[in-house]
Every structure is written in structure tokens, then in C-alpha cells.
Amino acid sequence: MVDLWDGLVQAFWLVVTLDAALVEISARSLRVTLSALAIASVIAMPLAAFLAVKRFRYRRAVIALLNALMGLPPVVVGLLVYILLSRSGPFGVLGLLFTPTAMVIAQVTIIVPLVASIAHQSLRDLWHEYHDLLISMNVSQGQKMRTLLWDARRALLTAALAGFGRAIGEVGAIMIVGGNIDHATRVLTTAIALETGKGDFALALALGFVLIGLAIAVNLAIHSLSRTEREGRW
Amino acid sequence: MRALFPLELKAAETARRGQRLVGPVDVRLEGAGCTVVIGPNGAGKTSLLRLMHGTARLTGGSLRWGCGEAEARQRQAFVFQQPVMLRRSVEENLAYPLRARGVARGEARAKARVWAERVGLGAMLGRQAPVLSGGERQKLALARALIIGPEVLFLDEPCAALDGAATRDIEAILSEAKAGGTALVMATHDMGQARRLGDEVLFLLAGRVRERSPAQGFFEGPETAEAQAFLRGDII
Amino acid sequence: MMKRVLAAVAVVWAAGVAQAEDVMRMAVTTSFHNSGLADVLLPEISDDLGLEVQLLVVGTGQALKLGEAGDVDAILVHAKAAEEAFVEAGYGTHRREIMYNDFVVIGPAGDPAGVGEAESAAGALQRIEGAKADFVSRGDDSGTHKKELSLWRAAGLEPERFGAWYKAVGAGMGAALNTASGMGGYVLSDRASWLNFGNKGGLALLYAGDPALFNQYAYIPVNPARHGHVKAELAEKLEGWLVSPRAKALIDGYEIGGEGLFVFNAQ
């Protein structure tokens, strides 16, 4: 309990004094995760719309695969990305290992199935509603997908925020592909793991509280930016 | 441009999971005025409309438009019993089919305003469509169907869930469209409505056309015994 | 809506991205990093050489792996046999000894196994085995783990045959110390990690001083003949600095709580 209290106090002071190291790793956490989220959304949302609209032979298999991949252990993703990006791996020449880019790649891999699955569920429901109308209007596949994506944008925001939550709190994969290098690839979660390893539970907890605060702040910010709460309903 | 009509169905039928929903049907529509499709529940009215509209799969026989299938799809519209509202504003719902056909945003908007005014939704342009009342939604659906200037409009019991006032408004819009040269093909349960709007009647029973007559003649003295029983209220 | 979100993303993006001096990567062991010496040396290296050394803090096993794959430019580890094999196989150009520190036996302050009265490192371990007292092993193929295994063997014991009291946690030094602290067990730690460890709980340093516990650190540049992209020049520059009198003064002078930790012994 002492550690818990110390952690809260320390978190308070770190934030109040705008501790330089804290600001740096928090900004990096945000930058890596928001980049990953943006890329993952660009991949996952159209994929979800495609799966909702298009009937093809392996559709069910693809959906089942996505759902299964939601539970993919991040460490495994980290290891795969590591092997691919290692100097002796197929993409070694790019020199991406132990860079924030590698961390973005790992996080994208982790959250695409999650975002696509959640997005697909809401798009599928909306497609059920719109199906007759859009078929009757004889619009193209692309138009169907765009219509669903636009009209379900609030639900898609929820999917994106779920992806953000998973990515910002992830440590296993980015530890492996980022290497937790001070001033280069250290982010909040890897710093927490490091401080825990040093037995400095109070600092680790303080960083944990900052992480939670950051996640809440981003959620609120995105919600208010998109005015979800005020318009209500949809 | 070739003429859309005639629409010719020969032994046409549609089935789902091996069960025949309607057919075989032999019918030739010339596309003048309002064709009313009546018949008891389960007779296949909706399926026949969908088959003609091209949203139900033809599983037997043939169906031909004067101008060919692909083009015909662009020159017709459909209004459902339960209107499907896009989760957008009234204005955006009206503009949607135009935008989908590549009409420029400004032009689509201007047209949407005109049509909103025409169906009495001029004051609700900015409202979200799904929160409108039943009558307002059906008016919006009707305007959204007519905005593309279809040569034929299919209607599947458009007033089934509406009260008298809303029904009158809808019928006024339909009469205007008819006067403007749009052919109507409408399934209905409301014999009063069938009399008011119909020019000819297709009486359906068990998936087949049992009788086809001019509206006036049909309601005054149907030829078949089944139609007589239906009008008496013995078959529902 | 989308535009605003994108704008927010762009702002966060712009907040990062900076610096441009020479950069090289070095894999170091957890124990070296936990000592805090890196925090003293790296700023000096940056000042003297204009060189930013990015540290990958991993176990010795992974450090060697990173070197083999060419993912780092140099490694600084402490597992002599493995290091020699690494150089032998051509992954590194050569092995340069820099400094040593020592391992210590940590355990519950009450010392139920009587490790404190041992005459030698071997004796200390034999007492733990004799008492079947809980012992936490790194179990992660790290330099410390390898050292621990060789110490057991030197004491005439076989860790493979130990019972449930011998707990291989497969984790870093900090995690192993946390575990020992939590269960009141014995653990072999490098002195630096122990002194910097913040969660000592009921643990105490019980035995130290046997030369068998000395822990030699060596620097190995990754072989550019195998991996053309490694920054051999920077690695050489760093080596020159690490064996310089300046490094000697910093390493020998580094203390925690008044205790010296490392002894510079580069030739």
C-alpha cells in the first residue's frame, strides 16, 4: 500500500513539474500509438466494409481468422516483426529495427484484427439495415462501402479507440522491436517494465498512472473533437 | 435512347432455398399510369415487384425491358413498406441517389431542397432522417425515389403503416408523379387506395396472376370467382 | 470530424523528431545497465566523441544474438566462454576486456542456511543446497545465469537435479530480485544491481569477496566483414574511449552509497 501511495504522489509531481523525461516518453508513446492507429484504421476500416458488403467464397474464413487474430499474443507479433526487420532478416536492409517505425509496424499488426473485427460487427448491422435500399439504388460496391463507413462513423470511432487502448498499453511487442532505448524508443510501457525490473515500484506505478491518465485524455479528446456526446443518438 | 417499356415477363419466377415465391408469371407492362398489384397475404406481391425491379433473382423463365437490363436499373426506383432511412439529414438523404450518380454536390443540394419543399419537408432539411415520424419518413423515401426522375416507380404497400392524413399526402405526391409521366407499379392492401390510384389491376393468388383488368372494371365486376371472393373479404 | 482528428495527430507527430549526431547501437547486459554506470559514461562519451550510444538492455544470450544478426554495432557483456565462441565464429572482430565487478549472494536477513559463515563461494552454495532453502535462478541464459551455473558445478553440485526449492524464473536481474524479495529466497546478483535495487524488503547481502565471484566485462565490436552496414569506425572510436585513462577514472570512481562497484582492468 505504501508503494501505491508513493506512486500516486510521484505521479502527481512528475505531471505537475512537467518532468522532461516523462514528457519525452509520453510524447513518444502518443506519437507511436497514434501513428499505428491511423495506419491500422486505414487498413482495417475498408477491410471491415469490404467484408460486410462483399460476398465471396472465403469470407467466413477471413472473418473467423480476424476474430482469432484479435487474441494474438503481442510477444509473438514482436518476435515475428523482429525476425523480419532484423539485419539478417528479409527486410533487414531497411534498417528499421529498434526504431519507432518498427514499433509502429508491430502495433499496426496487433490492432488491425481488433479494429477490423469490431468495425465489421457494426458495419454488418448497418449493412443489414441498408441492404435493400442500396441494392435497389444500384450503387457500386465502392459506394456501398463508403456509405457504410461514413454512416457508421461513430461506431467506427469506438473501434478505433479500442485499438488505441490496446496499442498504448502494449509492452511485449514494442519491447522486442523497439529495444527500450533511452531517448530513441523508450515509451511509457517499456519504461514501466524497466522500473519494475529495477524494483522501483513507486516510479513504475507513477508512470502507470500517467499512462492511464493519457489514455483517458485521448479518449475524451477524440470524443469531444468528433462531438459524439453532444449530437448524441448516432 | 431506347424506350424503357415494355417490360415483358415470360414464365418468370423467383425462388429462395428451393421454395417458389412467385411465378410462373406471364405479363407485359406498357408503362402507362398506375398498375395496382393486389391479392391476399403470401400471394407473392412483394416478390413480383422485386423480381421486376431486379432485386430478386430470376430463377426461371425470362424478364426483358425494352432498353435492356443494365440500363433499366438506372431508370427506375423502389419504395419499401418500411422506409430505409440513411443515418443522415433529410437533405443528405435526398441528395444521396444523385451523388451516387455523379451529380455535383451543389446541384444535388439544390434539387434536394426543391424536393423537400415539394413533399412538405422543407422545414426539416437539417433533421436526422431516422428520427422523423412514420409519415415523414415515407414522404422522404418517396421524394428520394422520385428525385432521380425514374420512368417507373415500384411501391410495396407504401401506406401500410400510415394514418389517414399521411396516406392522403403520399397519394397526392403519387398522383402528381403519375401526371408527370412516371409509371407506377404498386402493391397495396388498401382497396380504397387501389381504386383512387389504379388504372389497371393485377390480381395475384398463390404466386400467379389470376386476373388482369382495367381498374374500374375489376372493382365493379371481377371476372374470376377468386377475385370476387377476395373483394368480398372471403380470402385475406 | 476527420480533419480535426488528423490535425491533432499531426500536432503530436511534429512534437517528436530531432537530433543528428553520430549514432551507434550497443547491446549491454541488464546488470551493467542496472548499475547506473551507463548514465555516467554515456553523457561523457557524447561530450568527448560527439557520439550517441544507444543501449539495448538485454540478457547476454540476447545480446550475442543481436550481434550475430548484425542488429547492433557492438556488445558489452560478461560471459567469457560465450564471448570467445562469438569471436571464434567470426561474429565479432575481437574481445577487449574493460573492467570487472563482482557477484554477491543475497538472501533473507535471517540467513536460515547460514551462508554468511561460508568460507568460499562454493561453500555458500553448498549450504543453500544442504538446507534446501528457496533459491531464485535467473534461468534466462544471461551472463549472470551462466556464472551461477558454473558456480554450482564448481561446488560439485548439479543444478539440473535440484528439487522444487530451486526456482528458475527466466527473467532479468530485477525481476529475479523481486521474486527473491517476495518469497524470502536466496539469489545470486551482481553487486551493482543489488545496490541499486529499490525493493530490498527483508533481503540482505550475505556473502561476497571470493575471487571466483569476479565478473569480467568485455567489449566486442561486431564484425563488419559479416555485416557491411555496422558502424565499425564508431565502434572503434568507442573502444578507444573505453580503454582510455578518462574512462578508467570514471569507472574506478563510480560509487553507490560509498562503495566502489567496478574495477577498470583494460590492457
The C-alpha of A56 sits at a distance from chain C's nearest C-alpha, in angstroms, of: 31
Average of per-residue pLDDT across B54-63: 88
Determine the pLDDT at residue C127: 94
Tens-digit pLDDT profile for residues B103-145: 999 999 999 999 999 888 989 999 999 999 988 999 999 999 9
The single residue listed with the C-alpha cell 488491425 is A112
Determine the pLDDT at residue A227: 67
- The DSSP annotation for C31-49 comes to HHHHTTHHHHHHHHHHHHH
Tens-digit pLDDT profile for residues C8-28: 555 555 544 444 478 999 999
CB contact, 8 Å: A147 with chain B? yes
Determine the pLDDT at residue A228: 53
Tens-digit pLDDT profile for residues C42-76: 999 999 999 999 999 888 888 998 999 999 999 99
Determine the pLDDT at residue B71: 86
CB contact, 8 Å: A196 with chain C? yes
Average of per-residue pLDDT across C32-36: 84
Q: In chain B, how many H helices and how many E strands? A: 9, 9
Determine the pLDDT at residue A2: 63
Determine the pLDDT at residue B147: 93
Residue A230 lies in a domain: no
Three state DSSP letters for C45-62: HHHHHCEEEEEEEECHHH
Kindly tell me if the per-residue pLDDT of B86 is higher than 80. yes
Using the beta-carbon criterion (under 8 Å), do C181 and A199 form an inter-chain contact?
yes
Residues in chain A with CB shorter than 8 Å from the CB of C12 are 27, 30-31, 34
Domains and CATH numbers, chain C: 21-100+215-264 (3.40.190.10), 101-213 (3.40.190.10)
Kindly tell me if the per-residue pLDDT of A10 is higher than 50. yes
Average of per-residue pLDDT across A175-202: 86
Residues in chain C with CB shorter than 8 Å from the CB of A200 are 198-199
Residue B77 lies in a domain: yes
CB contact, 8 Å: A130 with chain B? yes
Residue B145 lies in a domain: no
User: Is residue B185 within 8 Å of residue B157, measured between CB atoms?
Assistant: no
Determine the pLDDT at residue C6: 58
* A vs C: CB pairs below 8 A: 98
Residue B53 has its nearest CB partner, among A126, A136, A233, at A136
Residue B204 lies in a domain: yes
Residue A200 lies in a domain: yes
Which CATH number do you get for residue A13? 1.10.3720.10
Residue B219 lies in a domain: yes
Residues in chain A with CB shorter than 8 Å from the CB of B95 are none
CB contact, 8 Å: B88 with chain A? yes
The pLDDT-based confidence of C256 (bands split at 50, 70, 90) is: confident
Which residue of A lies nearest to B54 if distances are taken between CA atoms?
A136
Under the phi-then-psi rule, with left for phi > 0, alpha for psi from -120 to 50, and beta for the rest, what region is C67? alpha
CA dist C193 and C189 (Å) reads: 7
Using the beta-carbon criterion (under 8 Å), do B86 and A143 form an inter-chain contact?
no
Interface partners of chain C (CB pairs < 8 Å, 3 or more) are A
Tens-digit pLDDT profile for residues B185-204: 999 988 889 999 999 999 98
What are the φ and ψ backbone dihedral angles of B39, each rounded to 5 degrees? 155, 165
Determine the pLDDT at residue A43: 96
Domain count along chain A: 1
Residue B170 lies in a domain: no
- Give how far the C-alpha of residue B55 lies from the chain's centroid of Cα atoms, to the nearest Å: 13
Using the beta-carbon criterion (under 8 Å), do A181 and C198 form an inter-chain contact?
no
Which CATH number do you get for residue B227? 3.40.50.300
Residues in chain A with CB shorter than 8 Å from the CB of C176 are none
Which residue of B lies nearest to A232 if distances are taken between CA atoms?
B128
Determine the pLDDT at residue B68: 84
Determine the pLDDT at residue A206: 87
The single residue listed with the C-alpha cell 443518438 is A233
Average of per-residue pLDDT across C137-153: 87
ipTM score for this prediction? 0.88
Residue B135 lies in a domain: no
CA dist C65 and C76 (Å) reads: 13
Q: Which domain, by its residues, includes A80?
A: 2-223
Residue A49 lies in a domain: yes
Tens-digit pLDDT profile for residues A122-161: 999 999 999 999 999 989 999 999 999 999 998 899 999 9
The pLDDT-based confidence of C200 (bands split at 50, 70, 90) is: confident
The single residue listed with the C-alpha cell 532479468 is C172
Residue B25 lies in a domain: yes
Task: Select, from the ranges A122-126, B73-77, C188-192, the one with the highest average predicted confidence (pLDDT).
Answer: A122-126
Residue A233 lies in a domain: no
Residue A151 has its nearest CB partner, among B55, B77, B86, at B86
User: Of A67 and A2, which is predicted with more confidence?
Assistant: A67
Average of per-residue pLDDT across A197-214: 86
CB contact, 8 Å: C57 with chain A? yes
Using the beta-carbon criterion (under 8 Å), do C178 and A199 form an inter-chain contact?
yes
Domain count along chain B: 1
Interface partners of chain A (CB pairs < 8 Å, 3 or more) are B, C
Residues in chain A with CB shorter than 8 Å from the CB of B78 are 136
Q: Which domain, by its residues, includes B31?
A: 7-82+152-159+182-232
Kindly tell me if the per-residue pLDDT of C202 is higher than 90. no
Under the phi-then-psi rule, with left for phi > 0, alpha for psi from -120 to 50, and beta for the rest, what region is A201? alpha
Determine the pLDDT at residue A233: 47
User: Is residue C73 within 8 Å of residue C230, measured between CB atoms?
Assistant: yes
- Least confident interval from A73-77, A81-85, A223-227, C236-240: A223-227
Residues in chain C with CB shorter than 8 Å from the CB of A97 are 71
Residue A109 lies in a domain: yes
Determine the pLDDT at residue C11: 54
CA dist C91 and C72 (Å) reads: 11
Residues in chain A with CB shorter than 8 Å from the CB of C6 are 38
Residue B206 lies in a domain: yes
Using the beta-carbon criterion (under 8 Å), do C16 and A181 form an inter-chain contact?
no
User: How is residue A92 annotated by DSSP?
Assistant: G
Using the beta-carbon criterion (under 8 Å), do A221 and C54 form an inter-chain contact?
no
Determine the pLDDT at residue C139: 83
Chains B and A touch, using 3 or more CB pairs below 8 Å = yes
Question: What sign does the dihedral B20-B26-B31-B36 (CA atoms) show?
Answer: negative
The single residue listed with the C-alpha cell 518532468 is A19
The CB density around residue A231, as the number of other CB atoms within 10 Å, is 10
Determine the pLDDT at residue A188: 94
CA dist B15 and B47 (Å) reads: 9
* A vs B: CB pairs below 8 A: 37
The CB density around residue B5, as the number of other CB atoms within 10 Å, is 17
Using the beta-carbon criterion (under 8 Å), do B74 and A138 form an inter-chain contact?
yes
What stretch of H or E contains C137? strand C135-137
Average of per-residue pLDDT across B44-71: 89
Determine the pLDDT at residue C9: 52
